[in-house]
Structure 1
Amino acid sequence: MDRAVLREDMVDSLEYDAKGVVRSEAVGLAMRDVPRHEFVEDEDAAYADRAFERYGTTVLAPSTAARLLEALSPSEGDDVLVVGAGVGYTAAVVAEIAGPERVHAVDITRRLVYEARRNLASAGYGEVLVDRRDGMEGLPEYAPYDCILLEAAAIEPPRALVRQLADDGRLVMPLGAGGQSLVTVGPTGRVEERHGPIAFKPMLVEGEQADTVERNRTVREDREHAERGSSRRHGWEHEWLDWDERLQGRR
């Protein structure tokens, strides 16, 4: 079947049926235009509403991507940062709305950065900048951003990302650990809107990505190790023993 027809059917199902996750004209038109098969290894299943795994990351199902995009609500000319670029599909849909030269994306996994660049170029969005960065730090060189999309869960809004928002900007992210909510965070760092429950993998820190050559202890593990160690006394921390006094007591 013609791929354009498959895209039409995909978006129709997201607008209607029991899903109703595509609500705006901008997101609907953009998802109809972006060739998702350029971002999914299995072309036959590219327009099915299902997720895929690639290099240790989840390629979002179209319905999940639509929820993020509707919450983000980018407009033409907005400066946008996508944190957790993955294979690049979400960044492509944002680029279709805001303009490719306005969209920046980062990912902590080097192989995914190369993959996203290739996919975006093949799909016609080669002007989107994709860089290998720790997403917790964002991309301050091009700040401020009107919209930031974090495609990973965190227990609180990353401070660096909040600082990179424009005065009227917004950060959309999955917030929480066990029970997560998709939220919009404002420039003050406070949650301004909730968009319902969602389930994402936690945000990775340096050393946790799938393509790490040598598995070192990560920043998160260092912190947890320090917390455990703070309540445990090492040999040199124990009180000195008066051995002369002990020996005299045994005589």
Structure 2
Amino acid sequence: MDPAVLREDMVDGLESPTKGVLADENVAVAMRDVPRHEFVDDERAAYADREHEALGTRVLAPSTVARLFEVLSVEDGDSVLIVGAGVGYTAAVAAELADETAVHAVDIARPLVAEARNNLASAGYDGVLVDCRDGADGLPEYAPFDRILLEAAAVDAPRALCEQLAPAGRLVFPRGSQRQRLVAVSPGGDRREFDVVSFDPLLVDGEQSGAVERNRTTREDRERARRRAESRTGWEQRWIEWDERVESN
């Protein structure tokens, strides 16, 4: 069947009252235009509303992608960062909503970075920049971003990503470990909660997506320790510094 017809059917299903996950017309048009089969090997399966596995990562179901972009609310002219590029499909949807040269994506896994670059080029979005980075560090050299989409669960919004938001920007990510909710965060710290979701955890540097066990809290522990250190003042800080000097002697 013609892929364009399959895309129409896919989006019609997402807009139907039965699913009711897609109401934003701009997102609907973008998803009708992106050739999803360039990102998923099986042409017919590409347009089914289900997840796929590729190179140790999950390719999100179309309904999940629709939910993410409904909350992200990308506008024409926005600068967008996708954290967790995966195979590149969400970056392509973002490129349809904004200028593709203003869309950037990062992933911690080199094989996925190569896959995303190839897929985006094949689909006609070679203007999207994809780089291999630790997602929690963002992409500071291209900041600030009007919209940041984190496609991995975290207990708290990574600090670096919050700092890379434009003044009126928005960061969307799945918040939590076991039970997660889609959350939108503003630079001022305001937070809005949306649907219950289920995402893999944000990987820390050195982890493999296929590992038996993943450390879900290493980065959060590191950030909390840094925040506690920055909040210490007065006698408490002097006491800590004294202990450190004594131990070094």
Name the amino acid aligned to 2:218.
R
Q: Where do 5+ consecutive residues of structure 1 fail to align? A: 225-251
5 Å-filtered alignment, 1:75-86, equals: 75-86=75-86
The reply to whether residue 203 of structure 1 matches residue 202 of structure 2 is yes
Report how far residue 22 of structure 1 moved: 1.1
Q: 1:73 is matched with which residue?
A: 73
Alignment of 1:137 onto 2:160: no
* TM-score, normalising length: structure 2: 0.84
| Amino acid of the structure 2 residue aligned with 1:52 | H
Tell me what 1:232 maps to: none
Q: CA deviation at 1:209?
A: 2.2
What do residues 104-144 of structure 1 show as CA deviations (whole Å, max 9, x unaligned)?
A: 00000000000000000000000000000000100000000
1:96-115 pair list within 5 angstroms:
96-115=96-115
Alignment of 1:106-125 (within 5 A): 106-125=106-125
Please give the per-residue CA displacement for 1:130-175, whole angstroms capped at 9, x wherever unaligned: 0000001000000000000000000000000000000000000000
Deviations 1:52-104 (CA, angstroms, capped at 9, x unpaired): 11111100000001100111010111000000000000010010010110100
Tell me, in whole angstroms, the C-alpha distance in 2 between the residues paired with 1:49 and 1:17: 15
Q: In the alignment, residue 201 of structure 1 is paired with which amino acid?
A: D
CA contact (8 A) 2:34 2:96 kept: yes
For 1:108, the aligned partner's letter is I
Structure 1: distance between partners of 2:2 and 2:38:
14
Residue pair 2:201, 2:216 contacting (<8 A) in 1 also: no
Alignment equivalent of 2:218, drawn from 212, 216, 220:
220
CA pair 182-210 structure 1, distance change in 2 beyond 3 A: closer
Letter in structure 2 aligned against 1:99? D
Q: Does 1:181 align with 2:181?
A: yes
Conservation of the 8 A alpha-carbon contact between 2:3 and 2:43:
no
**Counterpart-to-counterpart distance in 2, 1:69 and 1:157:** 18
Find the counterpart in structure 1 of residue 47 from structure 2: 47
Given that 2:6 and 2:44 are in contact with CA atoms closer than 8 Å, whether structure 1 keeps it comes out as no
- Mapped contact 2:175–2:183 kept (Cα < 8 A): yes
Deviation at 1:189, TM superposition (A): 3.2
Q: Is the 8 A contact 1:208 1:218 kept in 2?
A: no
CA deviation after TM superposition for structure 1 residue 44, in Å = 2.4
Helix, strand or coil for the counterpart of 2:183? strand
CA distance in structure 2 between the partners assigned to 1:141 and 1:211 by the alignment: 30
Is the contact made by 1:175 and 1:181 (CA closer than 8 Å) also made in structure 2?
A: yes
Letter in 2 for 1:126: D
Q: Structure 1: which amino acid aligns with 2:202? A: M
Give the SS at the match of 1:106: strand
Structure 2 unaligned residues grouped into runs of 5+? 223-249
